[in-house]
Amino acid sequence: MNKQELLSVLQDLDREMSSPCDLVIVGGAAMILHFGANRATQDVDVIILRGAGKSFQDTVRRVADQHGLPPGWLSDAVKGFSDILPPDFYHRLVPLELPFQQLRAYVLGLPEQMAMKIVALREQDLEDIALLQPRLSESDRKVLLAIRDRLDGIRPDWAQKIRYFLQEQGWKNV
């Protein structure tokens, strides 16, 4: 799905919803909708903050049928990477300014999106990182390093991946 297709699918999802839902769009869809990536994605990875009960899942299936999308087009499988997110990540969430009634959509802040992309580190993630990295402020860089430091205690493999990647990018004292 390109940007227009993503917007169309999300607008239809919003129209079909009977109650509010707050979610964070991450990964490729976030890169396309907010960070300016000019590519397509097969799915929409989300972190559900609230409101995703059975009726929401039924609505997601209906929209998939209407658009000819696979059943997993909207997936919360990214929750397996949630250890990356620091406890205060919600302070850096960026609301997507979309004309929705029931759906409140956000994207991660730059440092969290960057950390997710570094840990995944697939070919498309390298392209996304190239788009994100020049936008990092000094404050964002500090948050990214704090994420790496926190991961040392819970996911040292991810912390090491971030450390090596940043060293390869010329970051000092990582």
Task: Give per-residue pLDDT as tens, 8-24.
Answer: 999 999 999 999 999 99
- Residue range 126-153: average pLDDT? 96
Is pLDDT of 52 > 80?
A: no
Structure-block tokens of residue 72: 């997993």
Sort 120 into a burial class: Cβ within 10 Å, 0-12 / 13-18 / 19+: middle
Average pLDDT of the residues of the chain: 95
Query: Can you point out the beta strands (E) in 52-127?
Result: 74-75, 94-95, 103-107
Is pLDDT of 71 > 80?
A: yes
Q: Provide the residue ranges of all domains of the chain, joining segments of one domain with +.
A: 3-168
- Residue range 83-89: average pLDDT? 95
- Residue range 127-145: average pLDDT? 96
Question: The whole model's pTM is what?
Answer: 0.93
